[in-house]
Amino acid sequence: MRAGVLREVALSLPDAQERETWGEATFRVRDKIFVIMGTDGKRASIKSTHEEQSALVEENPSAYYLPPYVARHGWIGVRLARARTDEVRELLIEGWRMTAPTRLVAAFDRDEA
């Protein structure tokens, strides 16, 4: 996946916004971060669960890793060029779902059905 595709998918989610923080592009919903893209555009950290994090790192360690600072909270690091686009798209949506308010997620689910 390219950085531009990550940006496009993240910003397509309801109420998602991009804001530069710590010199990096962060993607937020209602001011809460669900994705941080590395300054080089080659890596990203996505909000996830410890279970998903463990499974992905074990399954494909060349694409997924434990990112500094946020791994202990379940976030997953992604080397974008080595990860499958559909898999990263799913991670982005799930990270957004974990971050967005319940009513916004419910409205999203209704629109997707």
Which amino acid would we find at residue 112? E
Per-residue pLDDT at 110 exceeds 90: no
Nearest to 73 by CA among 106, 101, 36, 108: 36
Mean pLDDT of 13-36: 95
pLDDT given for residue 44 in this prediction: 97
pLDDT tens track for 53-105: 999 999 999 999 999 899 999 999 999 999 999 999 999 999 999 999 999 99
Exposed, middle or buried by CB within 10 Å (0-12, 13-18, 19+), for 80? Answer: buried
Per-residue pLDDT at 32 exceeds 90: yes
Per-residue pLDDT at 113 exceeds 70: no
Give me the residues paired with residue 28 across strands. Answer: 17, 33
In 1-113 the beta strands, taken as DSSP E runs, fall at 16-21, 24-29, 32-37, 43-46, 64-65, 76-79
CB neighbours of 1 closer than 8 A, spacing ≥ 6? Answer: 78, 80, 81, 83, 84, 85, 88, 89
Mean pLDDT of 31-44: 95
pLDDT band at 23 (very low <50, low <70, confident <90, very high): confident
CATH topology of domain 3-112: Aspartate Aminotransferase, domain 1 (3.90.1150)
pLDDT given for residue 112 in this prediction: 77
Q: Where are the domains positioned within the chain?
A: 3-112
Name the strand (E) or helix (H) holding 52. Answer: helix 50-59
